[in-house]
Amino acid sequence: MRQELPEGPELVCPAGSLRALQVAVDAGADAVYLGLKDATNARNFAGLNFDDAQVRDGVAHAHSYGAKVLMALNTYADAHDAGPWYRAVDKAVALGADALIVADTAVMAYCRDHHPGLRLHLSVQASATSHAAIAFYRRRYGIQRAVLPRVLTLQQVGQLIRHTEVDIEVFGFGSLCVMVEGRCALSSYVTGQSPNNAGVCSPPSAVRWVDRPEGVQARLNDVLIDCYAPDEPRGYPTLCKGRFDVAGERDYAIEEPTSLNTLALLPELMALGVKAIKIEGRQRSAAYVGQVTAVWRAAIDHARAAPGRYAVLPEWTAQLARHAEGQQHTLGAYNRPWR
């Protein structure tokens, strides 16, 4: 068991595999979040996620270290057949999950009616950005935590926290979604599947890598969305982060890939009353999970122990830089100097 420290934000880390879960817990995660091998979770990639036996093993490992397991059932249920989502709720309860991360109101209602003691966390996919919206979910479905979309300034986060009875969780590090979370329909135009239902922005069946003399083309079905030089790093292709030729110039159409990194804001987030810091990356490797978790564990512990002397250490920055999308960091919407 790890040493108890003064109260501070819970460190919530991604687990796309049993190995990633074990590494996260061993590196100091207070909670891990995972999903099943189906469309009920928003990271429905082939080769990732958990079967029943792996969930049991993961829960046992996490609980042995005093960590929690949160199961993400955070896609929107099929209106014609919500059965798979309801069965996933029952399975999560049976397997010992400590809380569910949910977005769909029908799934929340099922939890409320059939498992009234189950802890519910409102997913970022629900796109709740006001205390009134969060209060609605609390009144109707009994949610106890809300994960905020990455669109609010620090001032707005603080205002929301002051007017809600629900614990607030924010993203601290990881790939930065450039769309409206839970409301994105962009990729469905070229893949035929919505990330809000199918669970992935770019379904693996639609991804094409094509070697050409000028470089490696990234395609979604037949749509060319980028072309990389032979030695250029390339991430998983999504339409919103594609580069296109427009009027003779080749550039990112919406926003270039970059990672959110809020280490510098940690004391401010804690002072606002943020209850949990989430690390993004269930699609990333166990090595990523372990290294990023270790940095954030050290940072949170430092901020808890000596908030007035907190400073981002160079080795933390260097470690996170190795995992940043596009090799870039940003404070995202938290810092809007033009306001």
pLDDT in tens, 27-78: 999 999 999 999 999 888 888 999 999 999 999 999 999 999 999 999 999 9
Is residue 107 helix, strand or coil? Answer: helix
Alpha-carbon torsion 337, 173, 293, 96, what sign? positive
Closest residue by Cα to residue 296 from 178, 170, 154? 170
Six-digit token pair at 268?
A: 């401010």
Contact of 224 with 194, CB cutoff 8 Å: no
Q: pLDDT by residue (tens digit) across 109-146?
A: 999 999 999 999 999 999 999 999 999 999 999 999 99
Q: Say which amino acid occupies 162.
A: R
pLDDT of 1 over the 50 cut: no
d(CA 198, CA 224): 22
> Longest C-alpha distance within the chain, in Å?
60
Q: Work out the pLDDT band at 5, boundaries 50, 70, 90.
A: very low
User: Which helix (H) or strand (E) is 239 found in, with range?
Assistant: none
Six-digit token pair at 170?
A: 């924010």
Distances (CA, A) of 163 to 50, 101, 159, 168, 272: 37, 22, 7, 11, 12
Angle at 68 between CA 131 and CA 148, to 5 degrees: 20
Contact of 221 with 251, CB cutoff 8 Å: no
> What pLDDT shows up at residue 321?
87
> What pLDDT shows up at residue 40?
94
> What pLDDT shows up at residue 135?
98
Residues 6+ apart with CB under 8 A from 120: 99, 100, 102, 108, 111, 112, 141, 142, 143, 144, 145
pLDDT of 304 over the 80 cut: yes
Q: pLDDT by residue (tens digit) across 179-220?
A: 777 777 787 888 888 777 776 788 888 899 999 988 899 999
Q: Which residue has the tokens 């470690």?
A: 319
Six-digit token pair at 308?
A: 């007035």
Alpha-carbon torsion 113, 114, 116, 120, what sign? negative
> What pLDDT shows up at residue 184?
78
Question: What mean pLDDT comes out for the span 220-237?
Answer: 85
Domains in the chain and their CATH numbers? 10-176+258-334 (3.20.20.70), 188-252 (no CATH)
d(CA 170, CA 152): 10
